[in-house]
């Protein structure tokens, strides 16, 4: 895998930054333009004491660091935000959730107090380094557009877990996606 690393990666642009043990230990990560994540670690008492790691996506990176106690919770929350913004990926499959102005009965009507702006999911597959939407894999959900980043990521994981096996087996996802269109807050 070829990675174009910018000449300078600054702390202020870091996705996650953690220093501990009187600043002697450091973990810093950045999301690159192609949405891969690289991290640098310096652990003077570890072997190797310096490492550079690469993840194909923020989702993959998050799955790796989510239970590491020395990474502050606020960093994990910012990572949830990035995943919610760019989508959840796994095995060259991408799940995105976004609001396109849909409501409970068609287009969202802000003047109707009973209406709620909802999220729509899209599923794509990477083919020749390009994301291509999968046919019959975009549906409006029962999830409000105001959903927190952490809950959006949870919803994307639920969707991924349902469709990824079917996609990897070359099967249609239409029926699974129709069922997933009913996903709501109770499912999270």
Q: Return the half-sphere exposure (C-beta side, CA atoms, 13 A cut-off) of residue 64.
A: 15
Q: Do residues 92 and 66 share a domain?
A: no
Q: CA 34, 47, 78, 143 torsion: positive or negative?
A: positive
Q: Provide the residue range defining the domain that includes 16.
A: 11-70
pLDDT in tens, 6-18: 655 677 778 888 8
CA geometry: angle at 115 spanning 114 and 116, to 5°? 125
Q: Do residues 19 and 95 share a domain?
A: no
- Phi first, then psi, for residue 166 (nearest 5°) are -70, -45
The last residue of a domain, from among 26, 41, 70: 70
Q: How many helices (H) and strands (E) does the chain have?
A: 4, 10
User: Region 85-96: what's the mean pLDDT?
Assistant: 90
Q: Is residue 6 part of a domain?
A: no
Q: Do residues 114 and 177 share a domain?
A: yes
User: Region 118-122: what's the mean pLDDT?
Assistant: 97
Q: Do residues 99 and 173 share a domain?
A: yes
Average pLDDT, the chain: 88
Q: Are 182 and 142 in contact (CB under 8 A)?
A: yes
pLDDT of residue 107: 95
pLDDT in tens, 36-82: 889 988 888 878 889 989 988 888 888 888 888 877 777 777 788 88
Q: Do residues 52 and 143 share a domain?
A: no
pLDDT in tens, 16-31: 888 888 878 888 888 8
Q: Is residue 83 part of a domain?
A: no
Q: Do residues 113 and 167 share a domain?
A: yes
Q: Is residue 113 part of a domain?
A: yes
């Amino acid at each position: 895998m070829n990675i174009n690393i910018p000449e300078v990666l600054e702390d202020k642009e870091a996705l996650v930054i953690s220093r501990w043990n009187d600043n002697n230990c450091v973990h810093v990560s950045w999301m690159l333009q192609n949405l891969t994540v690289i991290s640098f670690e310096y652990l003077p008492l570890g072997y190797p004491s310096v490492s550079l790691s690469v993840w194909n996506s923020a989702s993959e990176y998050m799955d790796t660091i989510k239970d590491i106690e020395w990474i502050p919770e606020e960093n994990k929350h910012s990572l949830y935000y990035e995943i919610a913004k760019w989508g959840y990926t796994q095995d060259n499959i991408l799940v995105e959730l976004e609001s396109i102005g849909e409501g409970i009965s068609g287009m969202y009507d802000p003047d109707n107090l009973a209406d709620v702006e909802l999220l729509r999911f899209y599923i794509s597959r990477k083919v020749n380094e390009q994301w291509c939407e999968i046919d019959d894999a975009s549906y409006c959900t029962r999830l409000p557009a105001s959903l927190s980043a952490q809950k959006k990521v949870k919803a994307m994981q639920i969707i991924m877990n349902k469709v990824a096996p079917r996609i990897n087996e070359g099967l249609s996802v239409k029926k699974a996606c129709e069922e997933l269109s009913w996903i709501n807050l109770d499912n999270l």
